Structure 1
Amino acid sequence: MISCILVDDEPFAREALAELLAHHPDVNIVAQASNAIEAIQAINQHKPALLFLDIQMPRISGMELLAMLDKDNMPRVVFVTAFDEYAIKAFEHHAFDYLLKPIDEARLASTLGRVRKDLRPRDVSFLAPERLAHLPCFSGNRLKVVPIEEVEFVFSDVGGIHVSTANGRAHTQMTLKLLEEKTPLIYCHRQYLIAPAAIAEIVLLDGGAEVVTRSGARVPVSRRYLKELKSHFGFQ
């Protein structure tokens, strides 16, 4: 059985694809998502073998979503697109699986045939942006898209990964490692990443230090990262 997730901001498009997939009993739709935040939660929860991903979505595009996924849990991706002929040729050149909207039943069957022969994920990392402009977050029952320039620091604890801004706190399902790779945030502690632009003061303490952000929050700095943090601002 091939587990899959459908990601598309258009409910009728998801419904149409689901109806076509119903003719393939070895394909099991474990979740559907209408945006990147829902998609990340579903992917982390279900760890599907296959992802049907719409490229053109508001706020956070399908390509940006790829940059937010842990490479170790990356599923096989089938792009769903209404792109023009030039973009389609680019997908074909790199041998990526894609479906052109409106989806043709025979084309879907052909794509699934290739997937059945080889479910291994393909490297799509170069399609994703090197840096993220937004972070997908959630706070209670609210889904939030947080601009990266508003983030002061991020930290992890037993409750997950927390994103702090001057206006409050939310959660994200991105890992600290991925956030370091894809954002301007830097380590100041093994459980904390901080935005250099948010730092107002570095207060030296016995055995380490702490940062005071521009909103007044205090963030611990371990001895391991203190020298690197000081040198970032030109301090010896």
Structure 2
Amino acid sequence: MITCLIIDDEPFARDELAAQLAEADDIDIVGQCSNAIEAMQAISKLKPQLIFLDIQMPRITGMELIAMLDPATMPRVVFVTAYDQFAVQAFDRHAFDYLLKPVDEQRLQRTLEKVRRDLHPQAIGDLAPSLLEHLPCYTGQRLKVVPVQEVEYVFSDLGGVHVATAKEKVHTHMTLKVMEEKTPLIRCHRQYLVAPAAIAEIELLDTGGEVITRSGAKVPVSRRYLKPLKQIFGFH
């Protein structure tokens, strides 16, 4: 069975595609998501082999969602879009496949045949912008979109990965590695990333150092990352 996730902010479009996919005996629809934040959690938890992804969604677009995923565990991605044929051709070289809305049954079958023949994840990171503008986070039952410019630091512990702003700390399903690659945050410790714009002071310690953020938070800096961090600000 091929596990599949449908991501679209339009309920009718999700249901229509799900009905078409239900005709295929080897496609297992493990979930449906109405936005990118729900999708991030579902992809992390369910690890689908295939996702059908709408490009135009509010707040976080389909292409921005792809930028948030770890390329090493990227599922096959089929974009579902209302773009005209000329716009879609721009994505055709990078995405595993694309479908135009309304989805044609025969075209969908050709896509599924391609998926069946392909056993390897697709590297489509070229679709994404180089840096993310916001992070998908959550706290309790609340889903939050946190602008990257508001993030002071990010850290991981046994409870997961946490995003800290001057006002609050929330959780995210993104990894430190992806955020280091896709945001201006820089590594200062094996378990910490910090925003250079949030740094007010760097205290030098025997064990390395400690960053004091503009909100007064303290972030550890290991010896390995102390020198590169100082050099960012012109210290030697």
TM-score band w.r.t. shorter chain: over 0.9
Specify every segment of 5 or more residues in structure 1 that has no aligned partner in the other structure, as ranges. Answer: none
Q: 1:156 to 1:34 in 2, by over 3 A?
A: same
Corresponding residue number in structure 1 for 2:167: 167
CA deviations 1:2-41 (Å, max 9, x no partner) are 1000011111111111111111111000111111111111
Q: 1:226 to 1:68 in 2, by over 3 A?
A: same
Identity, % of aligned pairs? 68
User: Which is further off, 104-113 or 2-11?
Assistant: 104-113
CA contact (8 A) 2:91 2:127 kept: no
The residue matched to 2:14 in structure 1 has which SS? Answer: helix
Corresponding residue number in structure 2 for 1:60: 60
Two-structure CA RMSD over aligned residues (Å): 1.2
The separation in 2 between residues aligned to 1:115 and 1:156, in whole angstroms, is: 35
Q: Is structure 2 residue 53 aligned with structure 1 residue 81? A: no
CA contact (8 A) 1:49 1:119 kept: no
Corresponding residue number in structure 1 for 2:183: 183
CA deviations 1:52-95 (Å, max 9, x no partner) are 01111111100001110011111111110001221122234557
CA contact (8 A) 1:212 1:218 kept: yes
Specify every segment of 5 or more residues in structure 2 that has no aligned partner in the other structure, as ranges. Answer: none
TM-score (norm 2): 0.96
The separation in 2 between residues aligned to 1:162 and 1:3, in whole angstroms, is: 29
Q: Is structure 2 residue 118 aligned with structure 1 residue 127? A: no
**After TM superposition, where is structure 1 displaced by more than 3 Å over at least 4 residues in a row?**
91-96
Matches within 5 A, 1:12-51: 12-51=12-51
Corresponding residue number in structure 2 for 1:137: 137
Q: 1:143 to 1:83 in 2, by over 3 A?
A: same
The residue matched to 1:215 in structure 2 has which SS? Answer: coil
Count of equivalent residues: 236
CA deviations 1:165-201 (Å, max 9, x no partner) are 0110111111111110000000111100000000011
The separation in 2 between residues aligned to 1:94 and 1:233, in whole angstroms, is: 38
The separation in 2 between residues aligned to 1:192 and 1:37, in whole angstroms, is: 23
Corresponding residue number in structure 2 for 1:155: 155
The separation in 2 between residues aligned to 1:164 and 1:21, in whole angstroms, is: 40
Corresponding residue number in structure 1 for 2:2: 2
CA deviations 1:86-145 (Å, max 9, x no partner) are 112223455741111111112111211121111422221111111000001011100000
Corresponding residue number in structure 2 for 1:208: 208
The separation in 2 between residues aligned to 1:111 and 1:125, in whole angstroms, is: 20
CA contact (8 A) 2:51 2:77 kept: yes
Q: 1:201 to 1:92 in 2, by over 3 A?
A: closer
TM-score (norm 1): 0.96
Corresponding residue number in structure 1 for 2:232: 232
